Structure 1
Amino acid sequence: MTDLKVGGVPEHFNYPWYLTLKNKEYTKQNINLRWKDYHGGTGQMCKALRSGEVDIAIVLTEGIIKDIAAGNPSKIVQTFVKSPLIWGIHVGATSSFKKIEDLEHATIAISRFGSGSHLMAIVNAHNNGWDLDKLKFKVIGNLQGGIDALTNGEADYFMWEHFTTKPLVDNGTFRRIDDCPTPWPCFVVAVRNEVLENNFTEVKKVLDIINHQTEDFKDIKNIDSILAERYSQQLEDIQKWLKITEWNEGKPITKNLVTRIQNKMISFNVIEEKKNSGEFIKNMYI
Structure 2
Amino acid sequence: MKRFINLALVVSGVLFGAIQAAAAKDMIRVGYGPFLSGGGLFIAKEKGYFDKMDVTVELRRFDDGSLAVPAMIAGELEVTNLPAAANLFNSVAKGAPLVVFADWGNNRAGFGYTAFSVSQKLHDDGIKTIADLVKLKGKKVGVGALDSINHYNAAQILLKAGLNPSSDVEWITNIAQPDLMKMLGQGQIDATDLSFNLAVFAQANKMGSIIANGDQIAPGAQIAAFVVRKNFLNEKRDAMLRFMIAYLQGIKEFNAAAKDPDKYPEIVTIMAK
User: Could you tell me which amino acid in structure 1 is paired with residue 228 of structure 2?
Assistant: V
Percent of aligned pairs sharing the same letter? 11
CA shift for structure 1 position 158: 0.7
User: Could you tell me which amino acid in structure 2 is paired with residue 144 of structure 1?
Assistant: P
Match in the other structure for 2:35? 11
1:62-119 deviation line (CA, Å, top 9, x unaligned):
3634543465431111223455334322222223572211124432211123432223
Alignment of 1:54-203 (within 5 A): 54-62=77-85, 64-65=88-89, 67-69=91-93, 71-84=95-108, 85-95=112-122, 98=127, 99-134=132-167, 136-181=170-215, 182-183=218-219, 184-203=221-240
- The TM-score, its normalising length taken from structure 2, stands at 0.70
User: Could you tell me which amino acid in structure 2 is paired with residue 196 of structure 1?
Assistant: L
User: Could you tell me which amino acid in structure 2 is paired with residue 49 of structure 1?
Assistant: M
Secondary structure, aligned partner of 1:43: helix
1:25-70 deviation line (CA, Å, top 9, x unaligned):
33343322112232x2222233432333321112333363454346
CA distance, structure 2, for counterparts of residue 180 and residue 33 of structure 1: 30
User: Could you tell me which amino acid in structure 2 is paired with residue 189 of structure 1?
Assistant: F
CA distance, structure 1, for counterparts of residue 212 and residue 249 of structure 2: 35
Secondary structure, aligned partner of 2:163: coil
CA distance, structure 2, for counterparts of residue 8 and residue 126 of structure 1: 30
Alignment of 1:213-232 (within 5 A): 213-219=250-256, 222=262, 225-226=265-266, 228-229=268-269
Secondary structure, aligned partner of 1:203: helix
Q: 1:151 to 1:170 in 2, by over 3 A?
A: closer
Q: Which one of 46, 49, 59 corresponds to residue 69 of structure 2?
A: 46
Is the contact between residue 42 and residue 115 of structure 1 (CA under 8 Å) also seen in structure 2?
Answer: no
CA distance, structure 1, for counterparts of residue 57 and residue 137 of structure 2: 44
- CA RMSD, Structure 1 to Structure 2 (Å): 3.0
Secondary structure, aligned partner of 1:186: strand
Is the contact between residue 91 and residue 157 of structure 1 (CA under 8 Å) also seen in structure 2?
Answer: yes
> Number of residues paired by the alignment?
232
Q: Which runs of 5+ in 2 are unaligned?
A: 1-24
1:125-173 deviation line (CA, Å, top 9, x unaligned):
3444533432532125222321343345443211112343212112211
Of 188-197 and 122-131, deviating more is 122-131
User: Could you tell me which amino acid in structure 1 is paired with residue 193 of structure 2?
Assistant: M
Q: Report the structure number with the largest CA radius of gyration.
A: 2
Q: 1:187 to 1:227 in 2, by over 3 A?
A: farther
Q: 1:32 to 1:178 in 2, by over 3 A?
A: closer
Secondary structure, aligned partner of 1:172: coil
Q: Which runs of 5+ in 1 are unaligned?
A: 234-286
Is the contact between residue 6 and residue 56 of structure 1 (CA under 8 Å) also seen in structure 2?
Answer: yes
CA shift for structure 1 position 213: 3.2
Q: 1:33 to 1:137 in 2, by over 3 A?
A: same
Give the structure, 1 or 2, with the largest relative contact order (CA under 8 Å, sep 6 or more): 2
Q: 1:91 to 1:230 in 2, by over 3 A?
A: farther
Is the contact between residue 45 and residue 57 of structure 1 (CA under 8 Å) also seen in structure 2?
Answer: yes
Q: Which one of 15, 22, 35 corresponds to residue 59 of structure 2?
A: 35
CA shift for structure 1 position 22: 2.5
CA shift for structure 1 position 6: 0.9
